[in-house]
Amino acid sequence: MLTRTVVVITIGVGLVQLATPRAFNKATPIDVERAVIVGSNSSRALTESAPVATVTPATVLVAAIHASVTRVASHWPPLATLVKWRPTTLVENGVVDDEAMASCAIGHRDREAATRHAGTRDVDEVELATLERSADIQVVLERHG
């Protein structure tokens, strides 16, 4: 059961990584996979399509693996990169990276909204705009003076 659970979680996290960070709002790939498996297992147990005695230990194991992996990932950046989204630079020194924006499914209106929220309408005033792991766009304006 442990091996199968680890394989399923690993494949699931990999598949979720193929989506864009904004597809799942602020959830990381491992969070999405945990939610899907726990929800599916709970549903199967509630509808009696799988024995509670089998589903419960598997669900507890998924939760334990999630807790362990996220705890280790908070201290070990290579693992964090595998199970969470990577920050992506969208604008640097006023230059918009259209390829990066497209790969993250960020439209120009999304970027413009983040820029306005930071206090400017002019992309030339943006030193750095990054799509963070949280799916938020963080904007750093150039310092004048």
CA torsion 118→124→128→129, rounded to 10°? 60
Among 65, 105, 68, 99, residue whose Cα is nearest residue 85 = 105
- What is the model's pLDDT at position 1? 63
| Distance in angstroms (rounded) separating the CA atoms of residues 112 and 43 | 41
Q: What range does the domain containing 56 cover?
A: 2-83
76 and 98 belong to one structural domain:
no
Q: Which two tokens stand for residue 27?
A: 């959830």
For residues 70 and 14, state if they share a domain: yes
Which pLDDT does position 39 carry in this prediction?
85
One pLDDT digit (tens) per residue for the chain, 145 residues: 678 777 888 887 777 777 766 667 777 788 888 888 888 888 888 788 888 888 888 888 888 998 999 899 889 988 888 888 788 999 999 999 999 999 888 999 999 999 999 999 999 999 999 998 878 899 999 887 5
The CATH number of whichever domain residue 128 belongs to comes to 3.30.240.20
Q: Residue 104 class from Cβ within 10 Å (0-12 exposed, 13-18 middle, 19+ buried)?
A: buried
**Chosen domain end from 83, 98, 119:** 83
Q: Which of 61, 83, 105 is the last residue of a domain?
A: 83
- Selection from 8, 74, 73, 62 nearest residue 34 by Cα: 62
d(CA 21, CA 109): 17
Burial annotation 24-56 (CB, 10 A radius, 16+ → b, else e): beebbbbbbbbeebbeebeebbeeeebeeeebe
Q: Where are the beta strands (DSSP E) in the chain?
A: 88-92, 95-96, 126-131, 137-141
Does residue 100 sit in the same domain as residue 48?
no
Question: Into how many domains does the chain fold?
Answer: 2
Return the closest-CA partner of residue 6 out of 50, 68, 97. 68
pTM of the model: 0.64
